Structure 1
Amino acid sequence: MTSALRAQSARSASVALFTLATVFAGMLGPLQALVNGRLGATLNDGHAAALISFGTGLALMLVVVLARGRTRRAFFALPGQLRRGELPRWNFFAGLCGAVIVLSEGVTVGFLGVAVFQTSLISGLVISGVLCDRLGIGVPVKQAITIQRGLGAFLAVGATLLVVSPSWSAPHMIALAIMPFVGGLLAGWQPAGNSEIGRLSGSMLVSITWNFLVGFVALGAVYLVRMGATGAHFSLPSTWWMYLGGPLGLLSIALMALFVRRLGLLLLGLASTAGQLVGSILIELAVPSHGGSLHLVTVIGALVALAAAAVAMIPARSAAPARAADTGD
């Protein structure tokens, strides 16, 4: 009996430790947003900031993937698998969702602040998660839109309205807040595409690399068009830490992949969401955007977004198998 109690205590302590570690890992998200936001403000070009962030992440992943024979072969085999129809095209281009989020960091964080940005992003993710679960996108079974999940989506909308409420008199600020919200909506199906590429290639490292590659190519192509049409000039920052956006994103992905085995998806999602929101508020207190103060409604909105995530993650009691046609397979 004593041995069983000790084992139970050890498991509880382990879960508590990994939960705390996940909260800290979640703080990497707002830190990445801060870096990319400051980079965008320094260059006066959020698009260029997103390109640099994706470029540094892609460079690191290429070093890792191309250094090993198995992952290198899987990496170069993906284009042929796409042409043969072995990989649904929408899965292959899931990296575009990440591009939208990183672009919104570079464009909006300097104006909105990290807390408002992160709350709007997470609110979009909550609604997207509810819809994707209902449609069976990226999950083995469909999850019905229960009262709890509907309430979670409603709270997510409320959280976004709260954090942007101090800017009702500035329509351009409202428009900026919509960008991370839309990024969150799009990002709901991104894990489905990444997991499909990971399954096909046999390596999530390959999947993450293609995610970065697709986003970098898309951002680069649009930037080349801008350069030709408007004379936009690309430049690199002289401050070293402004290159950390991509590596911070990779570190967050790696830690979440490691911790999910210990905590499961539900607890991991709640802990990482808490880390993102708490981290964003702490960053906003330490480094306020444009020297402004943190609004009380922003803190309340962040708490509402956390509640929305918690409620929306409650699984439905009954679920229907997701058909292949619904997932794009």
Structure 2
Amino acid sequence: MSDTEQSSAKTPGGKKAIAVPLLFIATVLAGMLSPMQSAVNGQVGKELGDGNASAVVSFGSGLVVMAVIILARRSTRRQFASIPGKIRSRSIPWWNWLAGCCGAMVVFSEGATASILGVATFQTALISGMVISGLLCDRFGIGVDVKQPFNVPRILGALLAIAATVLVVLPSWQAPSMIALVILPFLAGLLAGWQPAGNDAVARQTGSMLVSITWNFIVGFCVLGAVLVVRILLGGVKFHLPTTWWMYLGGPLGLLSIALMALLVRGLGLLLLGLASTAGQLIGSVLIDLLVPALGSHVYMVTVLGALVALVGAGIAMVPSAKKEETIER
């Protein structure tokens, strides 16, 4: 390596250029957690016969895990106790404290539709909404330090991700009722694209990602729980806990996914995060459908093709962002 190359590799910009591909790979792997969660919550919804009840179980299991972690440390207990004062001080926009509602919508849609649509179909409808949301959030500087303008590579990457969605969903669109069901995860994706930014803002305010995640689960659980209680009182639903142990893993899987995405968004931006996680979600969906057919659905060739198109889209969008970050640092 020449002196010039060595000097470039040591510069902050060089480190950024190297870090972006590594963060991209980490996000792909983290994205695989989402279809696993969808499969679990979908089966819970199928057993309980209600998406709302399924979401309460998922958020409840995740909240129990986070409560144990938070209460075990004096520092996190103190950071968590500071939340009411920070909300009153309005040091960050109030909607950042409601990021848990985005997760609540995603988990509710999983319980209501995943077992019917299939894991791949559900995930790709969710992805389409997330990509559009990420593109807009990056453009208007929501949750990121530097605005990312619309340009050909970024738009092309987003379009390829949406094309991947169409390819994967196509075999399942056999009836109008299926299209209606797909709308729910799509709307959830529009909200979920912003969720990592909200969680990151709360983490910065409290000084702890663990506290941010716990708050995320509390908000989601309270919203979903209140709706379920009202429905039970009105006689609209009967609730019982699942009898199979793995049906309580939806919350912990979602917890891990939220933590990883909130960390990775700082280095990638919301659009790249959405595109890289798209690849992971599609690959994970295909693997679930292939390896655990009882939880997934039939795998078509267009499903595999859709995953490959998503990978290409993520790669195209990654290159210009790495160059842009390097230019800014210099």
- Please, what TM-score do these two structures have when normalized by structure 2? 0.82
Matching residue within 210, 224, 244 for 2:215 = 210
What residue identity is the alignment partner of 1:205? L
Matching residue of 2:111: 106
Query: How much has 1:253 moved relative to structure 2?
Result: 4.1
**Alignment coverage as a number of residue pairs:** 311
C-alpha distance in 1 between matches for 2:174 and 2:257:
36
Pairing 1:60–2:30 present: no
- What is the root-mean-square deviation of aligned Cα atoms in Å? 3.3
Is 1:149–1:311's contact at 8 Å kept on the other side of the alignment?
yes
Query: How much has 1:157 moved relative to structure 2?
Result: 3.0
Matching residue of 1:325: none
C-alpha distance in 2 between matches for 1:313 and 1:18:
10
Matching residue within 108, 113, 130 for 1:125 = 130
Pairing 1:155–2:167 present: no
Pairing 1:265–2:268 present: yes
Matching residue of 2:141: 136
Query: How much has 1:240 moved relative to structure 2?
Result: 0.5
C-alpha distance in 1 between matches for 2:257 and 2:223:
23
Query: How much has 1:295 moved relative to structure 2?
Result: 2.2
Q: Percent identity?
A: 61
Pairing 1:248–2:253 present: yes
Matching residue within 244, 251, 266 for 1:239 = 244
Secondary structure of 1:143's counterpart equals coil
Matching residue of 2:230: 225
Query: How much has 1:21 moved relative to structure 2?
Result: 6.6
Secondary structure of 1:142's counterpart equals coil
Secondary structure of 1:74's counterpart equals helix
Secondary structure of 2:147's counterpart equals strand
Pairing 1:73–2:78 present: yes
Is 1:104–1:180's contact at 8 Å kept on the other side of the alignment?
yes
Q: Deviations over 1:80-138 (max 9, x none)?
A: 32123233211110111111111111111101111112222222222211110101101
C-alpha distance in 1 between matches for 2:267 and 2:143:
16
C-alpha distance in 1 between matches for 2:190 and 2:317:
14
- Please, what TM-score do these two structures have when normalized by structure 1? 0.82
Pairing 1:307–2:308 present: no
Is 2:197–2:262's contact at 8 Å kept on the other side of the alignment?
no
C-alpha distance in 1 between matches for 2:43 and 2:117:
12
Pick closer, same or farther for the CA change 1:195–1:269 going to 2, 3 Å. Answer: same
| Aligned residue runs from structure 1 range 44-55, under 5 A | 44-55=49-60
Unaligned regions of 5+ residues in structure 1, if any? Answer: 320-329
Is 1:138–1:192's contact at 8 Å kept on the other side of the alignment?
yes
Is 1:162–1:298's contact at 8 Å kept on the other side of the alignment?
yes
Deviates more, 1:246-255 or 1:84-93: 246-255
C-alpha distance in 1 between matches for 2:191 and 2:306:
21
Is 1:33–1:109's contact at 8 Å kept on the other side of the alignment?
yes
